[in-house]
Amino acid sequence: MTLTNLALLPVFLVLAACATQPKWSPSSSNRELGVARVAYEHARSEQPRMSDMQAVQLATSRCETWGFTRVQMIPGELRECSVQNGDSCDVWKVTREYRCSGEDSLVRTAAR
């Protein structure tokens, strides 16, 4: 490896890390309200194309764990700054919410 190649290696590693596609992950959900949340983070310069199917699968899994049988997306997304740099935001967190319904909600209503 030449000295030039060694000097360029860190640049390529940084670019490769930036090219990593973010994925949805579970976020702060609320069983009592029957709301499952999923979120991802992205750099200010990125506009990632996220999988709606992955978000639904994560929310469905969370709702099923709580005993619900259905999920429905609550329209819209919540955006908040995760990493602030002066007056600009370097990293954004995007959250999507899903309403859980079905079996568990009927059991709780009947128990009251």
Return the pLDDT at 56: 96
CA-nearest of 31, 103, 21 to 62 is: 31
Rounded distance between C-alpha atoms, residue 91 and residue 101, angstroms:
33
Q: Is the pLDDT of residue 87 over 80?
A: yes
Cα 39 to Cα 16, 67, 85: the distances in Å are 22, 22, 21
The structure tokens listed for 99 are 């309403």
The model's pTM is: 0.71
- φ, ψ dihedrals at 95, nearest 5°: -120, 140
**Confidence category of residue 70, pLDDT binned at 50, 70, 90:** very high
**The pLDDT of residue 13 is above 60:** no
